[in-house]
């Protein structure tokens, strides 16, 4: 059973899931195209990123967790 994604999950852990990048892109997460992404993936938590960019954290977590359970 996979671990549930929470606001404290690091971006690098989320991107280990096959559909995660597609879901993050639908939520317009700017980190995916940021040149600093390689340095920040291991330290940024999804909750921090959503707060910085005013992204619907609850909706995003629900969508990701629904897809990783499949």
Q: 10-residue block means of pLDDT along the chain (70 residues)? A: 85 86 86 69 88 94 88
- Report the pLDDT value the prediction gives residue 64, as an integer from 0 to 100: 94
Residue 1 maps to a domain = no
- Report the pLDDT value the prediction gives residue 21, as an integer from 0 to 100: 84
Residue 41 maps to a domain = yes
Residue 27 maps to a domain = yes
- Report the pLDDT value the prediction gives residue 1, as an integer from 0 to 100: 47
Report the number of distinct structural domains present in the chain: 1
Residue 3 maps to a domain = no
How many Å from the N-terminal Cα to the C-terminal Cα in the chain? 10
Rounded to the nearest 5 percent, the helix, strand and coil shares of the chain are 55, 5, 45
What is the domain extent for residue 40? 11-68
């Amino acid at each position: 059973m996979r671990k549930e994604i929470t606001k404290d999950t690091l971006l690098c852990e989320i991107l280990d899931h096959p559909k995660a990048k597609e879901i993050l892109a639908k939520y317009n997460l700017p980190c995916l195209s940021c040149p600093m992404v390689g340095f920040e993936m291991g330290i940024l938590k999804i909750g921090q990123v959503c707060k910085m960019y005013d992204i619907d954290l609850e909706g995003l977590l629900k969508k990701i967790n629904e897809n990783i359970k499949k």
